[in-house]
Amino acid sequence: MAAKITSIKGMRDLFGAQLRSWRRMESVFSTLCLRRGYSEIRTPYLEATELFVRVLGEHTAVVGKEMYSFVDKKGLPLSLRPEGTASIVRAYIEAGLPYDSPHARFFYMGPMFRYEQPQKGRQRQFHQFGVELFGLASPAADVEVIALAHNFWRELGLTENISLLLNSVGCGDCRPAYIKALQAALQAVRDRLCADCKERILTNPLRVFDCKKPNCQAEFEHLPKIIDHNCDACRSHFGEVKRGLEALSIRYRLDPLLVRGLDYYTRTAFEWRAEGLGSQDALAGGGRYDRLVAELGGPQTPAIGFALGCERLLIALETAGSSAPASSASIDILPLDPESQFLALKLQAELLGATSYTVTVNVSGASLKTQLKQASKNAAQFVVIIGETERRSGEAMVKTMATGEQKSVAIQDLTRFFPLLG
């Protein structure tokens, strides 16, 4: 036998019950977004590497270690997208939308790629749903985006198992002074930090807060907090965001250590954690990024968004006991000779038109016994048996699989018979 080829580490196939849950998540999310005026955007999976270097920052783990980057046949440095925001901002600017429709709402769903060590809830190809809202600087825009995610959890029956963490990471006016204060404080405890954190003091000091090592975490408590260095405008913005969330009865917890690793966030930053995810408990995260459109060559345009991880959402749903939706009611037509196969395919089209059942035709040419076995493996609710005898008499045999009950039904009446069952 030829050697088998397996999938790439950290990249998984999706099918069966998992994919049914997945499609339910997609359908709930897209309906929820569309009904709130968000339109879908699909951008290419490959982008110029420079896009991610500029957006995420050279000294982030994503750009430094985790991107799938290569040079194409013309020598262009390209990368598989590790996240969605950079591409969407690029597309928004490229289409001239900041000038045409300064208030734009987008949602997206699709695969992202990061070369990380796979573990529960962490894949190399993973999938995100997200939204981006452009052109609105008001605190109410932050509340709108957070409320959208909150409603998504609610529609999936998850609110009890999820907590929202909130922080304000300041802006271009107040952050530089904070970074200086942070760097000075980090230098003072440098010897007690891990090698990664030591390196970050100069390259990307905010990222130290992402370190999970207990020794480093113990130091963080005493470091200056960004929230205490917010300027008046940031403080007032954050106060309004909190007031808005309270008005909508959305519970949150302030987390002064939540900075979200990426350089582009300004002001509001948030993250949802979910039960059952173990060490990878960040289910979704996002924030305001008021400088990014301008940094990528567009006009100054405020923006805010979030992204959630589908693999982690699936685990959270399983933990919360929300099972995959059952596959839809189905009919298997079992033809017993070639002539009946054609009649069965004709009937399939008629039944699909007249009912909402899933209808399949077994064109294997196998014996009735084998076809019945296959139908029960497919979890068919009904089978319709058509052989030469049935064709002659004009009556097919309909069997209810759960009870074993059989009934003769005129072939021409089948489209009326099944809707009656219901």
- Work out whether 123 is an interface residue with ligand AMP (CB under 6 A): yes
- Work out whether 381 is an interface residue with ligand AMP (CB under 6 A): no
Decide: 289 and 305 in contact? Cβ < 8 Å.
yes
- Give dist(CA 51, CA 78) in Å, integer: 9
Q: Which residues in 78-107 contact ligand AMP (CB under 6 A)?
A: 83
Residue selected from 312, 315, 334, 396 as contacting ligand AMP according to rule CB under 6 A: 312
Decide: 238 and 230 in contact? Cβ < 8 Å.
yes
Q: Which C-beta is closer to ligand AMP: that of 319 or that of 348?
A: 319
To ligand AMP, the closest distance from the beta carbon of 220 in angstroms equals 19
Which one of the spans 40-48, 302-310, 335-343, 363-371 is the region binding ligand AMP (CB under 6 A)? 302-310
- Work out whether 128 is an interface residue with ligand AMP (CB under 6 A): yes
Closest CA relative to residue 156, chosen from 335, 308, 365:
308
Start-end of H helices in 262-337: 292-295, 310-319
Cβ atoms within 10 A of the Cβ of 356, count? 10
Q: Which C-beta is closer to ligand AMP: that of 60 or that of 168?
A: 60
- Work out whether 285 is an interface residue with ligand AMP (CB under 6 A): yes
- Work out whether 317 is an interface residue with ligand AMP (CB under 6 A): no
- Work out whether 284 is an interface residue with ligand AMP (CB under 6 A): yes
- Work out whether 164 is an interface residue with ligand AMP (CB under 6 A): no
Decide: 197 and 289 in contact? Cβ < 8 Å.
no
- Work out whether 308 is an interface residue with ligand AMP (CB under 6 A): yes
- Work out whether 281 is an interface residue with ligand AMP (CB under 6 A): no
Q: Which C-beta is closer to ligand AMP: that of 170 or that of 309?
A: 309
Residue in this structure with the two tokens 């900075």, named with its chain if needed: 259
- Work out whether 161 is an interface residue with ligand AMP (CB under 6 A): no
| Share in percent of the chain as helix, strand, coil (round to 5) | 45, 20, 35
To ligand AMP, the closest distance from the beta carbon of 370 in angstroms equals 41
Residue in this structure with the two tokens 């734009």, named with its chain if needed: 104
Closest CA relative to residue 62, chosen from 116, 110, 109:
116
- Give dist(CA 38, CA 104) in Å, integer: 8
Which one of the spans 142-150, 152-160, 283-291, 342-350 is the region binding ligand AMP (CB under 6 A)? 283-291
Residue selected from 81, 105, 122, 291 as contacting ligand AMP according to rule CB under 6 A: 122
Angle between helices 85-94 and 49-56 (to 10 degrees): 110
- Give dist(CA 402, CA 418) in Å, integer: 16
Question: Which residues of the shown chain bind ligand AMP in the complex (CB under 6 A)?
Answer: 83, 114, 116, 121-123, 126, 128, 282-285, 307-309, 311-312
